[in-house]
Chains A and B, each alone.
Chain A
Amino acid sequence: MADLSLLAADRVSLRLGDRTILSSLSLELHAGEMLGLIGPNGAGKSSLLKILTGIHNPSSGQVTLHGSPLQQIDDRQRARQLGYLAQAGTAHWPISVERVVALGRIPHLGNWQQATPADRAIVAETLRQTGLAELAARPFPTLSGGEKARVLLARALAVQPTIILADEPVAALDLSHQLEVMELLRAQCDNGGAVVVVLHDLRLAVHYCDRLQLLLAGETLAVGDPGSVINDENLQRAFSVRVRHSGQSLLDAFALSWTRSGQS
């Protein structure tokens, strides 16, 4: 099984000072799969994601991409395969939306190389796909929180990576845009890529993810298909909540009961 995984973490730990953030945590991601990382605040979801992208190095254990240790892969080659979508993004200069998205082509360009027409076409197509074409010329800092989140997703998509690692990509979005973003991530998996996504909304997690990994205090509490992870005992232990689901299964209580009616 391990040979088939695109991205794998093998017993990674992360310690900062005397605090243990992650302890001996493993993860596997396969082609075509959307893996949801869920768990309470401070469980280590974002830290795990940063280790998977190579932003942080684990204190012990290792991450492999296509079977090769992540640290041995050239920075730019790694960047072409792993797209990262941060929790929040600020631009330090008022550059336009289009230029923010075009940053996604950097891993494909040499230091001296100019963007090719093909690069520009990819940027334009990504802007269209994410419904941002009309905002293309707007300075990034003048956008609303939700618009910024979508621009950052477009930036990650413009890399055209195999794997997207997204940290709460829908946190700032309205209902319709939540679905739009989740569908874009889903499409990434259906096109042969894979996604690891940190989510707080368990309904979205159940609806869109193939597998869920529930973290608690830096360890895996449960991993598997949504039906096996979302149960009374796990929710009680992880979130200290009891779900009222009289007459229906617990999974039905987390069913997504709305769809998009059309293009927003």
Chain B
Amino acid sequence: MSILLLLLFCASLFFGSRPIPVLQAALDVARRADTVVALILTEVRLPRALIALFAGATLGLCGAAMQGLLRNPLASPGLVGSASGAALGAAVMLYSGLAASFWLALPAGGVAGALSATLLVYLLAGRSAGTATLILAGVAVNSLALSLISLLINLAPSPYAVREIVLWMLGSIANNSLDDFWLMLPGTLLGWLLLAGSGRSLDALTLGEESARTLGVAIDRLRWRVFAAVALAVGSAVSVTGAIGFIGLVTPHLLRPLVGHQPGKLLTVSALGGAILLLCADIAVRLFPAGTEIKVGVLTSLIGAPFFLYLIMKSRRWQT
């Protein structure tokens, strides 16, 4: 999988609206020559590939962690409010015009929104809440955030703000710079780091919370850790890319049989898988004829939803 990921990452550098001699460009960059192709490589292609890689890995990893923690195959990284919170934060920034005047405002708003939405879910559900209560609190906060976004769109001062908010919500990594990448990096890495050591505890949860407790897992601490990690990582990634659906939900499903359904081992594999899927999707949107730009978030949802249906049908056959 790592090799495939590497290949896709390189391939991602080769595709674009215009073919450029990538190797020549790389040489130019190495020689610090300011040619146009070198600029395209470092300012357009490279950030795009890096962001797809990191955002995809984050979504896959966080999806696997959430599904393991809640022991629910329908859990997605957005379940505890991080994605919709980030969207609300970003929408507020776009609505108020702050995003246009201050380049840090959009991602900062996204991360702040993700963290506060997650915190709200946690406070609503209570410290030692069961899984069902947590999911319900997540659904409530998600719909609150979405309705507030609708309100913002409704009250938007100009059609321009509406367009900005809607386009952002479609999810895209087309027009990001390296600055955007550096902006999302600390949050995502911190989130990854928090999740990295939690694999074994997620394994212990396979037989339920009581059983995990008797295996020495402090459930409350684990939950805090996963929630904080998902809010940080998804919040940072989503504030740069916009809403990208279904990667976090579908990737763990696809790969679970590969690791014998062990939630711990699924983490790394899902991170790789998420990155692969998003790189693929982002390459695919570039293959459409120039002029008809499809947002990558739209594509992942378009492919993800029917695919998810197929997975449900398959698992139903397995159960009966």
Contacts and interface: CB of A to CB of B under 8 A. Distances in A.
Interface of A: 50, 53-55, 75-80, 82-84, 86, 89-96, 99-100, 103-104, 106-107, 109, 111-112, 139, 152, 155, 159
A104 B206 CA distance: 12
A94 B261 contact: yes
Contacts, number: 82
A104 B212 CA distance: 10
Given A53-B214, A82-B214, A111 B197 contact: yes
Nearest to A93: B261
B215 A107 contact: yes
B215 A89 contact: no
A83 B207 CA distance: 14
> For the complex, would chain A's binding face be called helix, strand, loop or mixed by DSSP majority?
mixed
Interface string B196-238: 0111110111111011011111100000000000000000000
Contact of B203 (A55, A90, A106): A106
A123 to B, nearest CB: 14
Given A92-B71, A111-B197, A55 B262 contact: no
A99 B264 CA distance: 12
Given A91-B207, A92-B71, A109 B214 contact: no
B39 to A, nearest CB: 42
Nearest to A161: B214
A76 B216 CA distance: 4
Interface in B25-46: none
Interface residues of B, number: 26
Given A92-B208, A100-B207, A103-B206, A54 B200 contact: no
Given A95-B260, A95-B261, A89 B216 contact: no
A99 B256 CA distance: 14
Contacts of B203: 103, 106
A111 B200 contact: yes
- Quick one: which of B206, B208, B256 has the most chain A CB within 10 A? B206
B56 interface: no
Given A89-B211, A91-B206, 20 more contacts: A50-B210, A55-B210, A55-B213, A75-B217, A78-B216, A79-B214, A79-B215, A89-B207, A92-B207, A92-B208, A93-B262, A95-B261, A99-B260, A103-B203, A103-B211, A106-B203, A106-B216, A107-B216, A139-B261, A159-B215
Contacts of A78: 216
A106 B208 CA distance: 14
B214 A106 contact: no
B263 interface: yes
28 contacts: A53-B213, A75-B216, A77-B216, A78-B216, A79-B216, A82-B214, A84-B210, A86-B210, A89-B208, A92-B71, A92-B205, A92-B207, A93-B71, A93-B263, A94-B261, A95-B206, A95-B262, A99-B260, A100-B207, A103-B203, A103-B206, A104-B215, A106-B216, A106-B217, A107-B215, A107-B216, A111-B200, A159-B215
Nearest to B205: A92
Most buried by B among A54, A103, A111, A152: A103
A139 B211 CA distance: 18
A18 B211 CA distance: 27
B219 to A, nearest CB: 10
